[in-house]
Amino acid sequence: MKSLRLRLIAAIVAIAAITTICVLRHADDANANEQQALLSQAIATSARPDSLRALLARTPEEWRDEMGYLITYMLPADRDTMSLALLEENVCYARHAMEAYEWTRALPREVYLTYVLPYHVVDEVRDAWRKELHELFAPVVDTCATMMEAVKAVGRVIPELTGVNYDTRREKTNQSPRESMRQGMASCTGLAILLVDAYRAVGIPARFVGTASWHDDRGNHSWTEVWVDGEWRVTEYYLPSQLDHLWFMSDAAKADPNDRRYAIYATRFGPAPDWFPMVWCGDDSTQVADLPQCIGAENVTQHYINLAQEQHDKHLEDDTHTYLRIAGYRSRDAMSHSTDRVVMGVDVFCGTEQMGGGLTAGPLRDMNDFLTMLLPKHTTYELRYYDANGRLHTQQVCLGDEPLTVAVFLNSEF
């Protein structure tokens, strides 16, 4: 009787296992059928269906899923006009990275498709960056044992290898990698695009992140996130001394997830729950809601608010940081009244790394309201700001154990 009972149990388990396998296969087949239907629709509605079908036919079979994914989710304008040779090169060198690096092979398929494979970041010119950047950075990461080592290796050398540095005299905001490298300069948006593509070129998932405006309306900012060990980490073109600890974290803490002007978004290729506000597509009078809504994104504001608060609380708990407070005045001779105060942009550096920045409080703000940053103690910082004549001033500040308040002046002499 006992033997019969065991055989019955074994039979039930076997039937359950077979049923589960069939269900999973059915789910996989259903997903594959859905993807094929989306691909067929994308090709049929394009301006050059025969060329796209021919492209798929000549793509090596083991790469065809990647090519199909790009064709399915690329912008309609790209699908109609973009160089197909560029698409082929993009897929080819994305596969080179997968073959070369264990960290790329270990990625979840969705992460690879969404954040390594894409041929563009936002609305920059579609140029052939992947082969060039792969050949530039592969020697840098070939000796790295982990993705984190590779992230830091690329971040350390990218200004030197590309010859690109921050400079607002660049031709335009949303520069492609080749445009930035041709000029040797880019603003934060161009630098973020270049860094995202450099990481993707060596198989590291990366995405473009930014806000249409900081809380004090001093303008937009763009930066980069990399996907390491299952989570997104914050970085910038000039590699910070510590990931996630960027100079703008105090500003990020004041972002508003419910107001598109002040929210923080991370781009996403393919299906996305939201869209990225590309403020460079408008002018000062353009409402954020009127900007192009073609680049998919996720609202990640709350993550940044939480991250900034955690860092702030830990710095205070560990007693490693104190406050630097900055006030802006018209001149050294007028510092007594609220009407003497002026709005000035001030950036704070420690060596070559930016530690903070923002606007000083103007005449209508409380006299106890300062541009405030929580910074490591026992460190010398450099304040950088422009006077009324557009001349750059630098001011050395030594931060000790106690909070420190310093003044900067709009009308000052060298």
pLDDT over 60 at 18, yes or no: no
Encode pLDDT of 57-96 as tens digits.
999 999 999 999 999 999 999 999 999 999 999 999 999 9
3-state class (DSSP) for residue 401? coil
Q: Compute the CA torsion angle 23, 29, 30, 36 (nearest 10 deg).
A: 170
pLDDT over 50 at 9, yes or no: no
CA 305 to CA 314: how far, in whole Å? 14
Per-residue pLDDT, averaged over 107-121, amounts to 98
Per-residue pLDDT, averaged over 206-210, amounts to 98
Amino acid at 380: T
Quick one: three-class SS letters along 241-291? CCCCCCCCHHHHCCCCCCCCCCCEEEECCCCCCEECCCHHHCCCCCCHHHC
Encode pLDDT of 343-390 as tens digits.
999 999 999 899 999 999 999 898 889 999 999 999 999 999 999 999
Q: What pLDDT is attached to residue 42?
A: 96
pLDDT over 50 at 13, yes or no: no
Encode pLDDT of 312-343 as tens digits.
999 999 999 999 999 999 999 888 898 999 99
Q: 413 falls in which pLDDT band (50, 70, 90)?
A: low
N-term to C-term CA, the chain: 100
Residues 6+ apart with CB under 8 A from 181: 162, 163, 164, 194
Share of the chain above pLDDT 70, in %: 92
Phi first, then psi: give them for residue 166, nearest 5 degrees. Answer: -65, 130
Higher-scoring residue by pLDDT: 15, 144? 144
Higher-scoring residue by pLDDT: 181, 19? 181
Encode pLDDT of 130-141 as tens digits.
999 999 999 999
Residues 6+ apart with CB under 8 A from 168: 187
3-state class (DSSP) for residue 62? helix
- By CB neighbour count within 10 A (0-12 exposed, 13-18 middle, 19+ buried), where does 1 fall? exposed
Per-residue pLDDT, averaged over 177-201, amounts to 98
Task: Kindly give the pairing relationship between strand 353-359 and strand 221-228.
Answer: unpaired
Q: What pLDDT is attached to residue 11?
A: 41
Phi first, then psi: give them for residue 141, nearest 5 degrees. Answer: -105, -5
Q: What pLDDT is attached to residue 408?
A: 96
pLDDT over 60 at 56, yes or no: yes
Q: What pLDDT is attached to residue 16?
A: 36
Q: 259 falls in which pLDDT band (50, 70, 90)?
A: very high
Q: 28 falls in which pLDDT band (50, 70, 90)?
A: low
pLDDT over 50 at 161, yes or no: yes
Higher-scoring residue by pLDDT: 283, 4? 283
Please give the domain boundaries of the chain with CATH numbers for all domains.
101-308 (3.10.620), 320-409 (2.60.40.10)
pTM of the model: 0.88
Of 335, 402, 350, nearest to 380 (Cα)?
350
Per-residue pLDDT, averaged over 232-238, amounts to 97
Per-residue pLDDT, averaged over 118-146, amounts to 97
Q: What pLDDT is attached to residue 383?
A: 97
pLDDT over 90 at 17, yes or no: no
What is the rounded average pLDDT for all residues in the chain?
A: 92
pLDDT over 50 at 1, yes or no: no
